[in-house]
Amino acid sequence: MRCEKEQQRIFIVGFVLIIFVIAWFLLKPFVFESAEKRNQREEQKISEEIIKAPSISAQDLFKKIKNGSKLFILDANSVSDFSHGHIEASINVEAGKAGAEISGLPEIQKTSDIIVVGSGDDLESVASLVNRLLDLGFVNCKYLQGGISGWRDLGYPLISSGASGGNSSKVKRISIAGIEKESEMNPDAIQFLDVRSKSDFSREHIIRAVNIPLAEIETRKKEIPVAKKIIIYGGNEAEGYQAASILFDLNLFSVYQMEGGIEEWKSAGGKIESGR
């Protein structure tokens, strides 16, 4: 009796295994075909995004910049990558929020020339961003072929900034004592550049300083008097350093970062004023 039950159990288990194997072989093509089709559809979607998005070569973009064309260059790279190298006057945007950020900039019109810059290895996401902006009505939007890495490989200029000490070969420094000494000899040869916010500048600033906030340095470089010795300061040394580094990349070489910020200037007895 026990032997018969054991045989029945073995038979049932064997039968179930056979059914499972048969079912697997019958369903296997459909399972893998479904996954394969999903992959194909995804790849097709990516290809369509890339094909649909207009682009511009690095050479053509460089010509437009040299000719002074009105462009809005949107850099979709990370903040860190942006600080290590970007095209002059670029706006660093977060890819997922680019549409909202652009719509919030009154100077960008629906017909403005907009160039989206990626890393060079993110063509899918960059093309998708361009298509999204086109759908929002920005009809002259393109992406830069090769991204920032392709631009760099061709030797075209980049603007960089970063933490103090990162580009020490580009930044010349001057002490407050050194500034006072030069001011006594020829005060008209010096121009202070305050890179803090407009509100901070209005509250107090070094006498005769001009104000160009750090974020506006690249777009307002023509306001900087190149015939004078430019002494940059901010709320702290890091701000002054970043501004000096950017101006070096913009080919302004008579630029010096003041050691310390405005608080150190006041502590040393430097004169300040308010207004403007």
Structural domain spans, the chain: 1-52, 55-153, 172-273
Whether 172-273 and 55-153 are alike in CATH topology: the answer is yes
CA-based R_g, the chain, Å: 30
Question: In b/e form, how buried is each residue of 30-41, taking b as 16+ CB within 10 angstroms?
Answer: eeeeeeeeeeee
Class of domain 172-273: alpha beta
Calculate mean pLDDT across residues 87-115. Answer: 83
* Whole-number Å distance between alpha carbons of 201 and 233: 11
Stretch 106-126: mean pLDDT: 92
Q: How confident is the model at residue 275 (pLDDT cuts 50, 70, 90)?
A: confident
Q: Which one is predicted more confidently, 192 or 7?
A: 192
Q: What is the pLDDT of residue 160?
A: 92
Which of 249, 254, 195 lies closest to 87 in space, CA to CA?
249
Cα gap 268→259, rounded to integer Å: 12
Average pLDDT of the residues in 71-77: 96
**Weakest-pLDDT range from 11-20, 112-121, 238-247, 253-262:** 11-20
- Is 212 a residue whose pLDDT tops 80? yes
Strand pairing partners for 72? 114
Place of tokens 């462009």: 71
Q: Which CATH architecture has domain 55-153?
A: 3-Layer(aba) Sandwich (3.40)
Neighbours of 230 (CB within 10 A): 21
- What integer is the mean pLDDT of 14-27? 70
Residue 146 host element (H or E) = none
Residue 33 has pLDDT above 70, yes or no: no
Residue 154 pLDDT: 97
Mean pLDDT over residues 162-178, rounded?
A: 79
What percent of the chain is modeled with pLDDT above 90? 69
Q: What is the mean pLDDT of residues 129-158?
A: 96
Q: What is the pTM of this model?
A: 0.77
Q: For residues 4 and 9, what is the distance between their CA atoms, to the nearest angstrom?
A: 9
The answer to whether 218 and 251 are in contact (CB under 8 A) is: no
What percent of the chain shows pLDDT beyond 70? 81
